[in-house]
Chain A
Amino acid sequence: MRKRNPVLVLSSSDEEGDGVRGCATSGGRCSSRRGSRSASAARKRPRGRGSRKSLPSASRDGHVAEFDMPSEEFCDHLHDFSKTPGITQTDTKELWTEKHKPHSLAELAVHKKKVEEVKRWLEERMKAPKEGIENCVLITGRSGVGKSTAIHVIASLLGADLCEWMSPTPTLWEEHVHNSNSGLQYMSKLDEFEGFIEKIRKYSLLHGAYAEELRKPTVLLIDDIPVTKGRASFSRLRKCIKTLIQSAQTPTVILITEYHKIESADSATEYWEELESSIEQAGAYKVGFNPITENSIKKTLTRICQEEKCDVPAQWIDHIARVSGGDIRHAITSLQYCCIKMVKSFPVHESVPNDTHDELKSGSPSLLSSASSGDGHINPQISLPWGRDEKITLFHALGKFLHNKRETPHAFALAPDLFTLKKKYARNPLKMDAPEEVLLQAHGQARTIMDFLQENVLDFVSDEATDSGWVVNSYLSDADYMLASILHPKFCRITETNESDSVRELVAASVAVRGVLFGNSHPSPSRWHTIRTPKLWQIEQTSRHSKIQMLPERFATYGTSSFCSLSSIATEYRPTIKWFYSPVNVHAHDNISESLHGENDMDCTDGSLEGKKSGESEEDDIEDW
């Protein structure tokens, strides 16, 4: 790809000419903005050591959007690896994800049907680039399912040029502030995007000035939709995309990574869903990529192993494929890492660990099954941090806690107890990971978790077990007490650091969850329960509201020369005034009204009456709710 248009195309690695694209240097420095998805996996955290030179210089850029940062350990091993010559059979400069990029449809791990669908679409559009019909396709899927790669492969297969919109490296705010004297304008990514859309609409630059270009079809790829915050900028983005879709003359591919499928606790969820639906509404054709199946990951991994001449045990490949969660990029990176590790830790292939379940902290259900079928040969020395952190939804986690599934008694009776507990304290082992880990996976905030537990737990306690009800509640009360000493600044000392706060929050959540698990010793027979949102939230809101309503009353009721405390209004004045106006006493109302009318504080009683009315309507709402 030549520098023929304002679209900056930058590759993330130093070496030129890999695959479809080259490296356009801007200002002499190969600034690595995000290249293809797979290439971005090459990002490493620059380490403050002398040996940094051995790393690809591309790692300078810290802009990692959608990847888990490779762990320090990972970098460590890569270091060691690159420093030791002799045992390498790979070019260390390259990550395998980049090196073993598929070049043909056959090598692509994505499901054939989907690839075919996209290919057909692109072919059609390229043959007859008509005006008036939508020229956009939207591809969605989780990260690492090969969206970009598929497009690259298809484009090269069809002999099309792939133009990618690359926004320049964003200016950090601090940087901008620093530069503000020099008169540079701040451009947000959204601004850039808008400008870009405007340009291609006006000049249709992709059919550009070069005559030879006309022979070769181009495909526009937008992989990096700016993230916006707030409604205003979101609607700008939407407008932008709509313009793009409606005015596109070249086939355009938009990629959206679905984060929301796994991180449902996030509010970003809605954002992406909304964006997706608005793109679809604008007339784009949607193709959703599913996570890659275990088998095809395995196939790919085996192929890579053969090419790299790595002798990786089949179990490892199986395992990597299993824990990768359908993320092929992750799987390949794990494979590369584990090959390095193997070389390093076992120069001679004498011991091959055949079960690694206990090192893995991913906590995926498939893992557990492998553990239970485990053959006992555990090698605790090596720790292989493969596997993505599995995420579960908050509701899933709550379900686990509330249903409180436990092993049947005889299963654990075999295990000899080190010390015996009194019967009333003994519980069967849990049929789940440690509750804290489940909490971590669900990204639950202690407060939210507790509110949900409190709201729902009573449904799950059997109706006979009054004691359990108390035990559960007492633990929740403990947890609330703990949590409050963090959040309630009235009682916490200022000197306390954030660190201890977060520890306390964790502890509080753990107490609440374990309390619920322990306390509910007689769970009601399992049946379908819906998990309700805590009513408490609504209650708090309305009571805050009515408190605000009371504030002016506080002044008015007290003979207009002093304040009155809210509690005495709530407990004494209001009920009395309410009583005066209750329907039973309508006739009496006349009597009192004369005494009320004479004075100028009539408005005060009116106000309180209104307050009372709205209070009642709120009560009704709650009853319906």
Chain B
Amino acid sequence: MLWVDKYRPRALDKIIAHEEIAQNLKKLVSEHDCPHLLFYGPTGSGKKTLVMALLKQMFGPGVEKVKLENKMWKIDAGTRKIELELTTLSSTHHVEMNPSDAGFQDRHIVQEIIKEMARNRPVDTKGKKGFKVLVLNEVDKLSREGQHSLRRTMEKYSASCRLILCCNSSSKVTEAVRSRCLNIRVNAPTEEQIIKVLEFIGKKENLQLPPGFTARIAAQSNRNLRRAILSFETCRVQQYPFTVNQALPPLDWEQYVSEIASDIMKEQSPKRLFSVRGKIYELLVNCIPPEIILKKLLSELLKKLDSELKHEVCHWAAYYEHRMRFGQKAIFHIEAFVAKFMSIYKAFLIATFG
């Protein structure tokens, strides 16, 4: 088991990085007042860990006995019948799923599953009807209709179920949904917190940590705790005992993006643009999300760029990122950004060096 999973805190008390939030959640559960919750924050900040710990706090260890189900849902949507396949994880107390897997029919799946959950409410020993929790991941990728139907079902079935929503950016969740939830922002852990976690793991694994080593990992992790732990583990595999100057193995795709960036800086021509396209395709084949490619590419380019161009380049990156979100084929927009960059940069070179 990877360290990320092995040392994932299972209880609210054991959470290191977001102690305060954990304590508040604990209080919330103890008062038996559980509203709908919306967790948002950057990737690798510990949202899911918090959610799982919270569920355990609510229902006890039963929530960890989950089964993976690949179920066909037959939905009667007015005039036509839709069949959808969706994977869910469920225990007796909760159901977890990625509604955005259902694509543009997510609206129906959200309604249907919530309805079904409401039908089979668990009954506790005192004969009182309890509630189930539905964990929805990647809510920001839900379509607008999906979010609206989520809002309606939230109201209708609030007696029988609670929703826990997870997403990266709350700005992509509609107002209506946000206002019906208790919003919990899980910010990226600070470097100190990451160091603390890494040292905790090091102690558990009985590792000798040279001074400043964890700090270097933390600094490179971009405040992503998962990433920090993963690269900590790769370092352990690479070389142990650790040395002070040990190189941290980079992620292959990030290396690839920085290669692309230096390609772009070297030559600006349609031919080069074409070869860059080929490289981006390779990243896309490996399922690296296009937004992340664009973001990484921008930061790599900015590293090498003259400061007077930075503003303009950022502007265009933002412009095409927006396009990409609404557009259909990401490559069109990434390529347009690269082309724009080339054109700006070339003009700059000509102006500077003649």
A474 contacts B340, C-beta separation under 8 Å: yes
Choice from A558, A569, A570 contacting B5 with Cβ under 8 Å: A558
Q: How far is the CA of A357 from the CA of B336 in the complex (A)?
A: 41
Shortest CB-to-CB span from B85 to chain A, Å, is 11
Any A CB within 8 A of the CB of B215: no
Question: Is A423's CB within 8 Å of the partner chain B?
Answer: no
Q: Is the interface of A mostly helix, strand, loop or mixed?
A: helix
The answer to whether A484 touches B326 (Cβ under 8 A) is yes
Identify A539's interface contact among B251, B285, B289, CB under 8 A.
B285
Whether B143 sits at the interface, judged by CB under 8 Å, is yes
Interface size class of B (residues with CB under 8 A): 35 or more
- Contact residues in A for B123 (Cβ distance below 8 Å): none
Are the CB atoms of A480 and B268 closer together than 8 Å? no
Within 8 Å of chain B (Cβ to Cβ): is A448?
no
When each residue 1-44 of chain B gets 1 if its CB lies under 8 Å from chain A and 0 otherwise, what string results?
Answer: 11011101000000000000000000000000000000000011
Q: Does B208 contact A (CB under 8 A)?
A: no
- Within 8 Å CB of A563, what residues of B? 48, 89, 96-98, 137
B237 touches A555 (CB 8 A): no
Mark out the residues of chain A between 561 and 591 whose CB falls within 8 Å of any chain B CB in the assembled complex.
Answer: 561-576, 578-580, 585, 588, 591
Given contacts A539-B284, A596-B1, is CB(A466)–CB(B342) below 8 Å? yes
Task: Using CB atoms, name the residue of chain A closest to B63.
Answer: A561
| Chain A residue at smallest Cβ distance from B65 | A561
Cβ of A416 within 8 Å of any chain B Cβ, yes or no, is no
Closest to B68 in A: A555
**Chain A hits for B277, CB < 8 A:** 458
Most buried by A among B87, B269, B326, B336: B336
Q: Is A536 an interface residue, CB under 8 A from the partner?
A: yes
| Contact between chains at B336 and A477 (CB < 8 Å) | yes
Closest to A564 in B: B48
A417 contacts B by Cβ under 8 Å: no
Q: Is the CB of B252 within 8 A of A466?
A: no
With A490-B144, A562-B96 as known contacts, state yes or no: A535 contacts B5, CB within 8 Å. no
Inter-chain contact B1/A615, CB cutoff 8 Å:
no
Question: 1/0 per position for A252-281, CB-CB distance to B under 8 A?
Answer: 000000000000000000000000000000
How far is B335's CA from A595's CA once the two chains are assembled, in angstroms?
Answer: 43
B332 / chain A contacts, CB cutoff of 8 Å:
450, 454, 473, 476-477, 480
Q: Pick the contact of B340 from A470, A546, A559 — CB < 8 Å?
A: A470
Is residue B112 within 8 Å, beta carbon to beta carbon, of the partner chain?
Answer: no
Q: Is the CB of A536 within 8 A of B329?
A: yes
A592 lies within 8 A of chain B by Cβ: yes
- On whether the beta carbons of A572 and B286 are closer than 8 Å, the reply is no
The answer to the question of A622 belonging to the interface, with a C-beta cut-off of 8 Å to chain B, is: yes
A592 to B268, CA, bound (A): 44
- Complex contact B339–A473 (CB within 8 A): yes
The answer to the question of A551 belonging to the interface, with a C-beta cut-off of 8 Å to chain B, is yes
Choice from A458, A558, A570, A601 contacting B274 with Cβ under 8 Å = A458
* A547 CB-CB contact with B under 8 Å: yes
Which residues from A are CB-within-8-Å of B289? 566-567, 570-571
Interface residues of A, count at CB 8 A: 78
Q: Give CA–CA (A464, B226) in the complex, Å.
A: 45
Is A565 within 8 A of B138, CB to CB?
Answer: yes
Contact among B135, B238, B253 with A585 in the assembled complex (CB-CB below 8 Å): B238
Distance from A20 Cβ to chain B, minimum over Cβ atoms (Å): 51
B270 contacts which of A463, A489, A550 (Cβ < 8 Å)?
A463
Q: In the complex the two chains form, is A622's CB within 8 Å of B44's CB?
A: no
**Given the complex of chains A and B, what is the CA–CA distance between A572 and B342 in angstroms?**
30
Residues in A with CB closer than 8 Å to B236 are: 591
| Most chain B beta-carbon contacts within 10 A, residue among A570, A572, A592 | A572
A477 to chain B, nearest CB (A): 4
Residue-wise interface mask of B (241-253) relative to A, using a CB-CB cutoff of 8 A (1 in contact, 0 not)? 0000000010111
- Contact between B96 and A576, CB atoms less than 8 A apart: no
| Chain B window 118-142, contacts with chain A (Cβ cutoff 8 Å), 1 for yes, 0 for no | 0000000000000000010110000
Q: Complex: how many Å from CA A570 to CA B332? A: 21
**Is residue A542 contacting chain B, with contact meaning CB distance below 8 A?**
yes
B327 and A480 contact, CB distance less than 8 A:
yes
Determine the chain B residues whose CB is within 8 A of the CB of A173 once the complex forms.
none
Q: Which of B168-189 contact A (CB under 8 A)?
A: none
Whether A528 sits at the interface, judged by CB under 8 Å, is no
Distance A485 CA – B323 CA, assembled complex (angstroms): 11
A543 within 8 A of B: yes
Question: Which residues of B from 249 to 304 have beta carbons under 8 Å from A?
Answer: 249, 251-253, 268-271, 273-274, 277-278, 281-282, 284-289, 292
Interface residues of B (CB under 8 A from A): 1-2, 4-6, 8, 43-44, 48, 51-52, 63-64, 66, 68, 87, 89, 96-98, 104, 135, 137-138, 143-145, 224, 226-227, 230-231, 233-234, 236-238, 240, 249, 251-253, 268-271, 273-274, 277-278, 281-282, 284-289, 292, 320, 323, 326-329, 331-333, 335-336, 339-340, 342-343, 346-347
29 A-B pairs whose Cβ atoms sit less than 8 Å apart in the complex: A454-B331, A458-B270, A461-B270, A466-B269, A466-B346, A467-B343, A469-B270, A470-B336, A470-B343, A473-B332, A477-B320, A484-B327, A490-B104, A490-B143, A494-B145, A539-B285, A540-B329, A542-B285, A562-B48, A562-B96, A563-B137, A566-B287, A567-B288, A572-B44, A572-B251, A573-B230, A575-B252, A580-B234, A622-B281
